[in-house]
Each structure stands twice: as C-alpha cells, then as structure tokens.
Chains A and B, each alone.
Chain A
C-alpha cells in the first residue's frame, strides 16, 4: 500500500521540484538588488561537493565563511584539510597547511578572476556582470538564476553557474558551477547569519 501511494505521489513531488521560467523577472531582480543592498555581512557554514566525471566518488569539503561589505571575505576549509583564503579589498592571503602566501589582486589574474566570482556570488550580484546572460527560474522552494557565460574565457571555464535563492530572497542558499566538461561543484550554505557583527580582525592580512 505504501509503495502504491509513493508511486502515485512521486510525479507530484518531481513536478513540485521542477523549475519553470519566472514571469516577472524585473520584480525578482529588484528583490535581489534590495537583498544585496540590505546585506552588510554574511556568516555561514558550507559544504562543497565536487563531481568530476573521471571519479565515481564525490570530493566533499566543509568549512565556514564570513563576508563583510565592501569586499572583505574569509573563506575557511576545516576538512578534509585546513585551508584559508582572506580577501581584504585588493589583497589576498592564502594559508595552507605549510605556507602563507600573499598576493595583490591587481597583479595576479588568477586571483582577480576567483575573487570576482566568489564575492559577487555570495552577495548574489554576479547576475549583473556583463560576463553572463541570466535566465530566471523558480519552483516551490527556490528561485534559480542560471548564468550563462558570454565572455570567451569564462565560457572555456564554465558552461553555467546556477545561483539558488530561498523564496523570500534573503540570501544565496546554494550555488552550482557547471564546467564546460560537465564537472560540477556544488556549494550548499547552512547556519547562515545575516547582518550579525563580524570582527574586522578576521580579515586582517599581516
């Protein structure tokens, strides 16, 4: 009997999860814009899941991030290994298990590119970048912004980036980066704190 009910309900469940195009995209853009303006800081745990086509297992990493306007980001992995990135405006510090490295964003294209994606993604403002064309979708639980790269270099890296917002549009719930090779990185954010005070010394680069 349970199986019978499950079979009956399954198409409904799938249907409710399916995304359809957002009709009023201007209203959604306005909501995201307001969210971004109203958010001065974010703190959250994250789980990163990397799916490589050549590996059957997923590579799972966990950590915590803190973001504070403008352009202060602390992105810290606690497992499987310790790894920390601190972005303080134009400066980047990376600390791995052996070494601390410091870079000037303007003199390092690699970190400039990574910084632009990270900071604009956690703020939800990446859709405003001229490097992407944005399609807007929704289901019962999320709004999904599908960002299709327009810039040639970005196209070589990503097929698309999907940003998921909760329906009340308070913050980014998860982020999915689909590479040109179909490898996928999924970032799932949990235990979020919005606009809670964050000490400036978390972002100090000595």
Chain B
C-alpha cells in the first residue's frame, strides 16, 4: 500500500471517529439564552471551602491527595492540592477568565503541565460556563446547552433538569473531543459529590474528585 493511501485512510478514520463524538449533538433544536446557575448547578459554593479526595493521573504519574477549593471573595477562587504527605503540589488563583499559578511544586513546574491543569480546572469547576450566549436544547429527557467560541464548542448535558442528578460536559476543538467531565450531584448537600474528567490527546489527564462533607471554613 502506498504511503499516501495509508495517510488518507488514517486521516479519514480520525475524521470519522472525531465526527462520531460530536455527531450526537447535531440536529438539536435550540433557543438562544444566557446560561446561569439555575440551568446548571455550580460547582463552587458562594462561601466556605470545599474539599475533595482527589486523584490525578497524567503520563505515568498517579497523584492523590486533597483538593481544596475556596472562594476568597466574590471574584477570586483558590484551588490548592495537597498530597497525603502534606506536601502542597500546586496552588492556583482564579479571577474571572484568568487563572494564575501561585505555587507549583518544583519538579512539576513545567509550562505545558501548568497550562493543562489550568484549562482542566477552568472546565471542571465550571468557572467560565456561565453568562455566555448559549443554545438551550432539548433531547429526550435531557437538556443540552451548547456554547460556541470560534472553533471551540462546549456541550453541557443535564440528565434530569429537575434534580441536576447527573451532568456531562464535553469540549470540542475543530469537531474533535478534547475533554469530557461527568458530574454526580447530591441534592441533600447541594454539591457535586463526584466529578470525573478525562482530557484526550497526546497528553492524557484523568481527574477524579470525591467530595468530603463541607466544613464551615
């Protein structure tokens, strides 16, 4: 088989596969709205700290520990990850669309790693999900919100809009899925009890956050 033919076949398979992932969102009938926290329950609490037992898998590393997320004022959120050994691995501060690294443990202090962490936390904590023009669509019992930003598209699917019991966020770049986050909501605490994120591509990330009951911080 000639190399060009192999390349063609590979390319068409990739297009076919990536097309499959986004195709489920095609032919949705949507209304234009601005999505707010009533449409999709936020991850952040307005005050107090949230603690999640967390595991992060990246390349061949498996890190576990405690993720602490706290709104320090109406605009600022701190995200701190501490291992079981008490060593702080990273500390990020998010303000609006901007996230900066306050501290990253030196051996992990690599720009590509930090950028990937920032992007994933922005997405999984729904930091920039609200107040954009959104397509509000219905698919069976599910409600789907579609956010477009140039060649990027994000879809937020809520299985049962009455209880927010389970939600799914999928992000696409040029029709290719770049990440997927599954949320399990606990109506009793008003918090997501479990959040799982997969980042696809060359550097694969997997995050799993399991909530620890809230304190009064």
Contact = CB atoms under 8 A, between A and B. Distances in A.
Interface of A: 48, 50, 52, 54-57, 59, 61, 75, 77, 81, 83, 85, 94, 96, 98-99, 101, 108-110, 112-114, 118, 153, 156-157, 177, 179-181, 183, 185, 187
A54 B64 contact: no
A50 B107 CA distance: 21
Given A59-B82, A98-B55, A114 B87 contact: yes
B62 A101 contact: yes
B102 A110 contact: no
B69 to A, nearest CB: 10
A50 B82 contact: yes
B73 interface: no
Contacts of A59: 66, 82, 86
User: Which 10 interchain pairs have the tightest Cβ spacing?
Assistant: A185-B86, A109-B107, A153-B106, A110-B107, A83-B84, A101-B62, A96-B64, A50-B86, A56-B217, A55-B217
A183 B66 CA distance: 15
A187 B87 CA distance: 12
A99 B55 CA distance: 10
B106 A181 contact: no
Given A54-B68, A94-B62, 17 more contacts: A50-B86, A52-B68, A52-B80, A54-B49, A55-B49, A55-B217, A56-B216, A57-B217, A59-B66, A59-B82, A59-B86, A96-B55, A96-B64, A110-B61, A110-B105, A110-B107, A185-B87
17 contacts: A50-B82, A52-B80, A54-B72, A54-B80, A54-B217, A55-B49, A55-B70, A55-B215, A57-B217, A83-B84, A94-B62, A96-B64, A99-B62, A110-B105, A110-B108, A113-B107, A153-B106
Q: How large is the interface on B (under 10, 10 to 19, 20 to 34, 35 or more residues)?
A: 20 to 34
B87 A156 contact: no
A48 B87 CA distance: 11
Interface in B35-89: 49, 53, 55, 61-62, 64, 66, 68, 70, 72, 78, 80, 82, 84-88
Contacts of A110: 61, 105, 107-108
B200 interface: no
Contacts of A156: 103, 106
Contacts of B78: 54
Contacts of A77: 84
A113 B106 contact: yes
B105 to A, nearest CB: 7
Contacts of A61: 84, 86
B205 to A, nearest CB: 16
B84 A52 contact: no
Contacts of B186: none
